[in-house]
Amino acid sequence: MTQSSSTSTGNLNRALLFFLIGTLLGLALGVGLHTAISGGFNTTYWMDIPSWMLGLLLGTLGFFYGLLGYYGIVRGLVFQVVGTLAGILLVSAIRAALGLSFFDPAKFGFHEGAWVFGALVGAVAFLAGVGALTDWWKWAKGEATSDHHEDVPGWRKYFGVSLDHKVIGIQYTVTSLLLLSVGGLFALLFRVELAESGLQFLTVLTPDQTAALNLYNSLMSLHGIVMIISILLGIAGVINYLVPLLIGAADMAFPRLNAFSFWVAVPAAVILLGSLGLGGFDTGWTGYAPLATRAPIGIQMFYLGVWVAGWSSILGALNLIATVLRMRARGMTAFRMPILVWASVATSIISLTATQLIGLSFQMSMFERLFGMPFFNVAKGGNPILFQHLFWFYSHPAVYVFVLPGLGVISELLPVFARKPLFGYRWVALSSIGIALVGFLVWAHHMFTSGMNEYLRVPFMYSTLLVAVPTGVKFFSWVATLWKGKIEAPTPMLFVLGGIVVFLMGGLSGPPNATVSTDLHLHDTYFIVGHFHSTMFGGYVFPFFAAIYYWFPKATGKRLDETLGKWHFWLMTPSFLVLTLFMMRVGLLGMRRRIADYDPMLGFDPWHLAMTIAAFLIALSVVIFFYNMVKTLRSPVTETGNVWNSRSPEWQVPSPMPAHNYEKEFEVVGEPYDYGLPGSVYVKM
Amino acid sequence: MTHAHTSQHAASHGSKDALFQGLVIFVLLAFLTAVEFFIAITNASVLLLSVAALLKVGMVVYYYMHIYKLLEEDDEHDHSSFAWKVATNRLGLWLFLLSDAFVFGGMFVARFNLLGFTRPHLNQELGLIVTSALLISSFFMNRGETQMALGDRKGFLISTSITFLLGLAFLLGVVFVEWPEAIHEGLTVDGSAAGGIFFLMTGMHAFHVLTGLIFLLVILRNGWLGLYSPERHWAVEAAAVYWHFVDVVWIFYYPALYLIGKAL
Ligand code: HEM
Ligand SMILES: [Cu+2]
């Protein structure tokens, strides 16, 4: 024990050292290249964002190398770097052979097509390097692979390909938290700029004002998309870890596909963040054409990163649906499935299908830039509104992808802590499917001011308002479940209750946006920003934290500290409420979204200052949460029993969960949420 | 249990009737394709063209892709049994095709959004020729799969090779004959939205044909090595279903690009 922990601190020190070396090396390399390209050195080169990104890339690589040696993710990243260079050189060589220009100092040295192709090859190379393709290659050659997969013992298995859904669930969750931190950091940076009217902060980080504004736009855009990817990975983590346990399966239906789905998200994240090193982009996360056709080439990395990450969503959803349809325990009929399983299926229906359309819209915009295909260019018969239709056909339903699992977690935990049956189980189960299906028919409510055909407005207004019905069913059930319950409120329950309140605010601020007459005023203001932050915090962030606090003992055999958990909650909730309500207020008064500066005469300065402070408090609360995790994992105290006195099968076996889940298949013999009813049984182990 | 499943499997596949059925379906498909072309050069009724396309797709999806196998009763509980795995893989494959259908659906809708009921100026006869190549390849693919189920390895290899060659002919025809001709006629990649969407749709479809060809090479190689048996040839079934799916997409794209609407 002491032996292994001392080697891992040794590794950690080495990792930090290598991180430093890698960062400095990358930075020096970047500055050196800049000097070589422009034929002279200038001290402002030390501020170059591309060089810093190169530094961060090599630093990260160094970090993992120091930690692990040449293994797993390190191999993947090395392959990705080499693959990217190979792709870039290949395209450049072909262009040179064809007599086309292949060197473009304005585009970081290479032609845009070379960058895009290189990044794509890099992503595939990553997957080959990390080992996510090995078994399939064997299958293609007709070789058999073992059914039973064993992992290397200890923590190293989390850094390489594992086929165990529990390992993959944790890999997803940790990656999600990492991206949450990165996205949060971006937000803090541009929130500081907004704290006061005028430009004062980002100009310090950049050589001139244009660069500062560009950095603002890039940070704002990346904040949005990094958070979205973080959410997608977070729900995948929750689903992956829990659904097989809840339905009594030994694993997901396709374990290799499952590993692939996780690992493909890693190069995607690298590409996405790489956009900052290639000039960033100024379109926001929506990437609308025609602005996108004029953005720096960072936008290509944004499009490509999202496209690659989309495969993670699509294939993960495919796996989940197959798992639930084929691998439920005996006796688990549809209406005895846990609500979280229903919600995961609903989410997956959307991810499986609609994701393809954001992929298509992004591809079309990429092709417009690369090959001049004028899909969105009016002068050549294109139609920019088409981009928005394709984009929102995914991106509206996607908001339900973000929240349905979270709402499922709420329904899952409430009965446990209210010690009462879930009110209206069947209705709640069906409401998830209802929301998902109606959610397919509302996308154009994002386009009321876009200039689309006017006759589309009213139908989309009504279909949008219709979503409130199944959503209302959930609220009704939650309130009725709490009613006269014997409520206990440890940290997970606090986050559940907080989530309900915050999601209610998000829900109530939705209909004004859905009503055409009011949306004409609200569109593209901070009111929208307030609206969607409430929905996503209430529907995802709060339930996600609730789920982590609740299932942490299951995964690790240790329980997170209650006091620190309460600090986390009581710091985050009021701060968030201040943030979102003030956003809505300044929005109503005319504050536009996605701008770096505002007129001091509007009188928004104090409100913005308060929002910036609130944002930092939220960040502080999350730091407390991270500290709590580290502290708990290091503490020797274990908690292996049914911590929350739950009826769910995963709590009927000791924690942490054994490698192959349940020793014997269990049988479902009753209703899942009959808490407090004497003599009722859900599963027979 | 496993035994019952196998014999059921054999019953749906393993008789000479299945070969004959494949032929009948092919004749009907060919007939409908001819009718379609006739409609297009006479009154170009969108309604009739849609009906013809839907009928063709229905037949391919039911008889060649045997979608009904998804619903076959399967009370296999042993998750390590071959029968359970094949049924689960089949579900996975169909979910993937559903997902993929959304990309193609998106481009299809985009085509009507951009061009309405006009169509790019293209050579309709050439379109008919490449379409026929793909259609005939589907017939041989079905034949190859059925022969494998009957234990006729040689027949399987021949039919699948013909499928491969026809697929290759389609791919080369689109990329090296159709595209240059379209460009020659003024339909360029970057000249107009019509050109853009034409190259996007045919290009994305051609990419799928290419992946299908690679898949066919894999089953040809492994079939040659004798790695499949009448009871165990999931890869062959998967490749066949995927190949037919690519054909289904073209059944929609061909009228959408070549037949429907007024030529620009
Ligand atoms: C009662 C339910 C809801 C209604 C009626 C509603 C309505 C709307 C409408 C009409 C807009 C577009 C406003 C505009 O841009 O002018 C909007 C924006 C948005 N909503 Fe909702 N919404 C609801 C729930 C949700 C939920 C559950 C989420 C997600 C987690 C969500 C996330 C978003 C996001 C992210 C945007 C902004 C997208 C952007 O422009 O960047 N909404 N909402
Ligand atoms: Cu929406």
Residue range A582-586: average pLDDT? 96
Please report which helix (H) or strand (E) contains residue A684, including its range: strand A683-684
DSSP string, B136-183: HHHHHHHHHHHHHHHT-HHHHHHHHHHHHHHHHHHHHIIIIIIHHHHH
Coil/strand/helix, residue A267: helix
Q: Are A214 and A123 members of one domain?
A: no
Domain count, chain A: 3
pLDDT at B104 over 90: yes
Q: What gap in Å lies between CA A326 and CA A567, rounded to an integer?
A: 42
Partners of residue A104 on adjacent β-strands: A109
Q: Report the sign of the C-alpha dihedral through residues A367, A370, A373, A376, in that order.
A: positive
pLDDT at A323 over 70: yes
| Burial class, A520, CB count within 10 angstroms (exposed 0-12 / middle 13-18 / buried 19+) | exposed
pLDDT at A170 over 50: yes
- Cβ separation A375–B196 shorter than 8 A: yes
Q: Say which residue the tokens 């929350």 belong to.
A: A644
Q: Quickly state the pLDDT bin for B261 (edges 50, 70, 90).
A: confident
Ligand 1 pocket residue status of A283, Cβ below 6 Å: no
Which of A151, A85, A157 shows the shortest CA–CA distance to A121?
Answer: A85
- Cβ separation B196–A367 shorter than 8 A: yes
Q: Quickly state the pLDDT bin for A148 (edges 50, 70, 90).
A: low
A109 CA distance to ligand 2 centroid (A)?
39
Q: Is there a cis peptide before residue A512, judged by omega within 30 degrees of 0?
A: no
Q: Each residue of B156-184: pLDDT tens digit?
A: 999 999 999 999 999 999 999 999 999 99
B4, HSE (Cβ side, Cα atoms, 13 Å): 7
CB within 8 Å of A623: residues ≥ 6 apart: none
Ligand nearest to the CA of A405: 1
pLDDT at B126 over 70: yes
Q: Are A12 and A128 members of one domain?
A: no
Buried b (16+ CB within 10 A) or exposed e, B190-222: ebbbbbbbbbbbbbbbbebbeebbebbebbbeb
C-alpha distances in Å from residue A576, one per residue of A533, A615, B31, B49: 9, 7, 66, 56
Partners of residue B262 on adjacent β-strands: B118
Question: In 10 A of CB B28, how many CB atoms?
Answer: 14
CATH of the domain at A480: 1.20.210.10
- Cβ separation B110–A364 shorter than 8 A: yes
Q: What gap in Å lies between CA B209 and CA B178, rounded to an integer?
A: 15
Q: What gap in Å lies between CA A481 and CA A553, rounded to an integer?
A: 25
Q: Are A504 and A427 members of one domain?
A: yes
Any domain includes A529:
yes
pLDDT at A150 over 60: yes
pLDDT at A185 over 60: yes
Which of A439, A420, A528, A436 shows the shortest CA–CA distance to A477?
Answer: A420
Any domain includes A652:
yes
Q: Are A223 and A372 members of one domain?
A: yes
Any domain includes A410:
yes
Q: Each residue of A617-664: pLDDT tens digit?
A: 999 999 999 999 999 999 999 988 999 999 999 999 998 998 889 988
Angle between helices B234-254 and B193-224 (to 10 degrees): 160
- Cβ separation B106–A390 shorter than 8 A: yes
Extract the tokens encoding A277: 């090193």
Question: In 10 A of CB A456, how many CB atoms?
Answer: 14
DSSP string, A544-610: HHHHHHHHHHHHHS----HHHHHHHHHHHHHHHHHHHHHHHHHHHTTPBSS-S---GGG--HHHHHH
Is residue A497 a contact partner of residue A416, using CB atoms and an 8 Å limit? Answer: no
Q: Say which residue the tokens 């003992």 belong to.
A: A553
Residue range A146-168: average pLDDT? 86
Tabulate helix, strand, coil % of chain B (nearest 5): 80, 0, 20
Any domain includes A680:
no
Q: Are A167 and A304 members of one domain?
A: yes
A529 CA closest ligand 1 atom index: 37
Extract the tokens encoding A127: 């997957």
The pTM score is 0.94
What would you report as the CA-atom Rg of chain A, rounded to the nearest whole angstrom? 25
A633 CA distance to ligand 1 centroid (A)?
38
| Burial class, A542, CB count within 10 angstroms (exposed 0-12 / middle 13-18 / buried 19+) | buried
Q: Which of A139, A250, A318 sits opposite B96 (nearest CB)?
A: A318
Q: Is there a cis peptide before residue A296, judged by omega within 30 degrees of 0?
A: no
Which domains does chain B carry?
2-263 (1.20.120.80)
Which amino acid appears at position A106 of this protein?
A: A
pLDDT score of A43? 85
Any domain includes A675:
no
Q: Where are the beta strands (DSSP E) in A20-135?
A: 103-104, 109-110
Extract the tokens encoding B224: 């040659």
Extract the tokens encoding B35: 């009718």
pLDDT score of A143? 86
Which amino acid appears at position A383 of this protein?
A: N
Q: What gap in Å lies between CA A526 and CA A72, rounded to an integer?
A: 43
Any domain includes A674:
no
The answer, for B28 touching chain A at a CB cutoff of 8 Å, is: no
The answer, for B100 touching chain A at a CB cutoff of 8 Å, is: yes
Is residue A247 a contact partner of residue A145, using CB atoms and an 8 Å limit? Answer: no
Q: Are A29 and A105 members of one domain?
A: no
Ligand 1 pocket residue status of A511, Cβ below 6 Å: yes
Question: In 10 A of CB A144, how many CB atoms?
Answer: 8
Chain B positions in Cβ-Cβ contact with residue A393 (cut-off 8 Å): 106
Query: Looking only at Cα atoms, what is the longest distance across chain A?
Result: 82
Query: Looking only at Cα atoms, what is the longest distance across chain B?
Result: 62
Q: Quickly state the pLDDT bin for A146 (edges 50, 70, 90).
A: confident
Q: Are A63 and A170 members of one domain?
A: no
Q: Which of B87, B106, B191 sits opposite A357 (nearest CB)?
A: B106
Which amino acid appears at position B18 of this protein?
A: A
By percentage, how much of chain A surpasses pLDDT 70?
Answer: 98
Ligand 1 pocket residue status of A359, Cβ below 6 Å: no
Q: Are A85 and A183 members of one domain?
A: no
- According to DSSP, residue B71 is labeled G
C-alpha distances in Å from residue A458, one per residue of A463, B7, B87: 9, 56, 45
Extract the tokens encoding A635: 């503490």
Residue range A98-113: average pLDDT? 85
A540 CA closest ligand 1 atom index: 30
Which of B110, B262, B252 shows the shortest CA–CA distance to B193?
Answer: B110
Extract the tokens encoding A96: 């040179």
Domain with A114 in it: 78-142
Q: What gap in Å lies between CA A161 and CA A260, rounded to an integer?
A: 8
C-alpha B168 chain-centroid distance: 14
CB within 8 Å of A618: residues ≥ 6 apart: A184, A571, A572, A575, A576, A579
pLDDT at B13 over 60: no
C-alpha A101 chain-centroid distance: 38
The answer, for A22 touching chain B at a CB cutoff of 8 Å, is: no
Q: Are A60 and A86 members of one domain?
A: no
Is residue A83 a contact partner of residue A50, using CB atoms and an 8 Å limit? Answer: no
pLDDT at A3 over 80: no
pLDDT at B8 over 60: no
pLDDT at B196 over 90: yes
Q: Are A356 and A246 members of one domain?
A: yes
Chain B positions in Cβ-Cβ contact with residue A381 (cut-off 8 Å): 114, 192-194
Q: Each residue of B33-71: pLDDT tens digit?
A: 999 999 888 877 889 999 999 999 999 999 999 999 998
pLDDT at B1 over 60: no
The answer, for A345 touching chain B at a CB cutoff of 8 Å, is: no
Extract the tokens encoding A354: 């609609």
Q: Are A131 and A38 members of one domain?
A: no
pLDDT at A554 over 90: yes
Any domain includes A404:
yes
Any domain includes A152:
no
Buried b (16+ CB within 10 A) or exposed e, A660-683: ebbeeebebebbbbbbeeeeeebb
Domain final residue, candidates A69, A93, A110 = A69
Q: Which of A141, A375, A390 sits opposite B197 (nearest CB)?
A: A375
Conformation bin of residue A25: beta by default, left when phi > 0, alpha when psi is -120 to 50 = alpha
User: For all residues of chain B together, what is the average pLDDT?
Assistant: 90
Chain A positions in Cβ-Cβ contact with residue B190 (cut-off 8 Å): 371-374, 380
Q: Are A445 and A400 members of one domain?
A: yes
Which amino acid appears at position B27 of this protein?
A: V
- Cβ separation B192–A360 shorter than 8 A: no
Angle between helices A112-130 and A298-326 (to 10 degrees): 40
Please report which helix (H) or strand (E) contains residue B118, including its range: strand B118-119
Q: Each residue of A436-461: pLDDT tens digit?
A: 999 999 999 999 999 898 899 999 99
User: For all residues of chain A together, what is the average pLDDT?
Assistant: 93
Extract the tokens encoding A557: 């055999």
Answer with the residue of higher pLDDT: B199 or A682: B199
pLDDT score of A8? 65
Which residues neighbour ligand 2 (ion) by CB within 5 Å? A 396
Lowest average pLDDT, out of A365-369, B47-51, B199-203, B214-218, goes to B47-51
pLDDT score of B258? 92
pLDDT score of B4? 40
pLDDT score of B43? 79
Domain final residue, candidates A142, A166, A181 = A142
Lowest average pLDDT, out of A145-159, A450-464, A493-507, goes to A145-159
Q: Each residue of A343-397: pLDDT tens digit?
A: 999 999 999 999 999 999 999 999 999 999 999 999 999 999 999 999 999 999 9
C-alpha A520 chain-centroid distance: 30
- Cβ separation B95–A318 shorter than 8 A: yes
Residue range A509-527: average pLDDT? 94
Count the residues in chain A: 685
Angle between helices A255-277 and A49-68 (to 10 degrees): 140
Chain A positions in Cβ-Cβ contact with residue B113 (cut-off 8 Å): 383, 386, 389
The answer, for A679 touching chain B at a CB cutoff of 8 Å, is: no
Which of B116, B53, B147 shows the shortest CA–CA distance to A386?
Answer: B116
Buried b (16+ CB within 10 A) or exposed e, A97-125: eeeeebeeeebbebbbbbbbbbbbbbbbb
Q: Quickly state the pLDDT bin for A45 (edges 50, 70, 90).
A: confident
